Amino acid sequence: MAKVKGTIVVDIERCKGCGLCPPACPTNVISLAKEVNAKGFHYAYMANPDECTGCVNCALVCPDAVITVYRKKN
């Protein structure tokens, strides 16, 4: 078990589904949803939430600042 656990909250309606965050994620947590938001973009979501370490990489590359990151030490 990872000592540090994290989670992200995506502002779905502002996400443009550019796909920059999945490759930035070192633990392959994020992917783009099959569903779309009101604008028709495949928004980012945590497909694999248990692996998230809250490293902030996804939020750093996000051009639209839609990702909020939380981190907790166990």
Scored b (16 or more CB within 10 A) or e, 23-32 reads eebeeebbbb
Contact status: 31 vs another protein (CB under 8 A)? no
Sole binder of another protein in the list 1, 2, 35, 40 (CB under 8 A): 35
CA dihedral 50, 53, 55, 56 (to 10 degrees): 40
Could you tell me which of 26, 7, 17 has the C-alpha nearest to residue 66? 17
Contact status: 53 vs another protein (CB under 8 A)? no
**CB closer to another protein out of 27 and 59:** 59
Contact status: 3 vs another protein (CB under 8 A)? no
Q: Which strand (E) or helix (H) includes residue 10?
A: strand 4-10
Binding footprint of another protein on the chain (CB under 8 A): 5-10, 12, 14, 16-20, 23-24, 33, 35, 37, 41, 43, 45-47, 49, 52, 54, 56-57, 59-72
